Amino acid sequence: MKKAIIGKKVGMTQIFDETGKVIPVTVIEAGPCTVVAKMSKEKEGYEAVQFGFEEVGEKKLSKPEAGHLKKAGVAAVKHLKEFRLEDTAKFEVGDTVKADIFAEGDKVDVTGISKGHGYAGVIKRFGQGRTPTSHGGGHMGVDQVTVQNLDIVKVDAELNLIAIRGAVPGPKGSIVYIKNTVKTQPVKKGEAAAVSVNPQKQSARVNPQKASARTK
């Protein structure tokens, strides 16, 4: 089942597993999110669910945003995001999605806006060399970045917190989007699966010059 949620990056910390090993994690305040709209193949041509996150005063929204939320009958929210999910039938407009939609051990992709580093030259940005006439510069950072296949280490349903192993894009307080990873896990088929039958590959070649391959 595909799952998704909007969250806010709290920061990084460390937690200990059952064996006492230290695990670096990023803590994310995930939800609660409100289901604002549903898209169907019959009307929009695709299936998706629009989530809203972080309630704000209606005066802080534009008229189109306020009208969209009022039509849905939900509270004013600051952030809106569509997620293309296969099982949209289980969601209804007005429903609340919390952090416990995910569980420990889930593999997720996290998307956010990377930290800004101001304007920098090509040496700092791309590691290029310098010439006497090079004066080029550009905005460094503030790009949409997705980190894939991260582990969810812990879920706190009461506080709506999710601890994810490793680092995720963005500074503290930035908005991130969490969803099931698109990467598929490889299926191991035994020891023979690692042996190649392709004679061009190193694992399949037999070198007659080696002592182990020579017959006496």
CATH number assigned to the domain comprising residue 28: 2.40.30.10
Expressed as residue numbers, the domain containing 19 is 4-116+144-185
pLDDT at site 183: 75
* Average pLDDT over every residue of 29-49: 88
Structure tokens at 171: 């500074």
CA distances (Å), 121 to each of 114, 124, 137, 142, in order?
18, 6, 4, 15
Q: How many domains does the chain have?
A: 1
Residue 198: its pLDDT value, please? 57
Tokens of 125: 């940005």
Burial of 108 from C-beta contacts in 10 A (0-12 / 13-18 / 19+): buried
Q: Reduce the DSSP state of residue 154 to 3 states and report it.
A: strand
The token pair that represents 169 in the structure block:
């894009």
Please tell me the number of Cα atoms within 13 Å of 171 on its side-chain side: 5
Residue 208 lies in a domain: no
Is 53 part of any domain? yes
Residue 214 resides in a domain: no
Q: Does any domain span residue 50?
A: yes
Average pLDDT, the chain: 82
Task: Specify if 128 maps to a domain.
Answer: no
pTM over 0.85: no
Say how far apart CA 76 and CA 202 lie, in whole Å. Answer: 61
> Looking at residues 128-140, what average pLDDT do you find?
63
153-169 pLDDT per residue, tens: 999 989 999 999 999 99
Residues 5-20 pLDDT 10s: 999 999 999 988 888 8
The CA distance from 39 to 72, in Å, is 13
| Paired strand residues for 137 | 121
**Residue 209, pLDDT score:** 61
Q: Which two tokens stand for residue 14?
A: 């460390």
The whole-number pLDDT of residue 44 equals: 83
Please name every residue paired with 152 in a beta bridge, in sequence order, or none if there are none.
Answer: 164
User: Per-residue pLDDT averaged across 58-71, rounded?
Assistant: 89
**What pLDDT band is residue 41 in, cutting at 50, 70 and 90?**
confident
Q: Which of 173, 36, 164, 15 is nearest to 99 (CA)?
A: 164
- Over residues 94-119, the pLDDT tens digits come to 889 999 899 998 999 999 998 888 77
Averaged pLDDT for residues 53-63 = 89
| Domain-embedded: residue 209 | no
Residue 163 domain-assigned (yes or no)? yes
Rounded to whole angstroms, how far apart are CA atoms 155 and 71?
Answer: 33
SS3 (DSSP) at 160: coil
Q: What is the DSSP letter of 102?
A: S
Percent of the chain exceeding pLDDT 70 equals 79
Q: For residues 77 and 186, which has the higher predicted lDDT (pLDDT)?
A: 77
- What average pLDDT does this structure show over 207-211? 58
169 domain residue, yes or no: yes
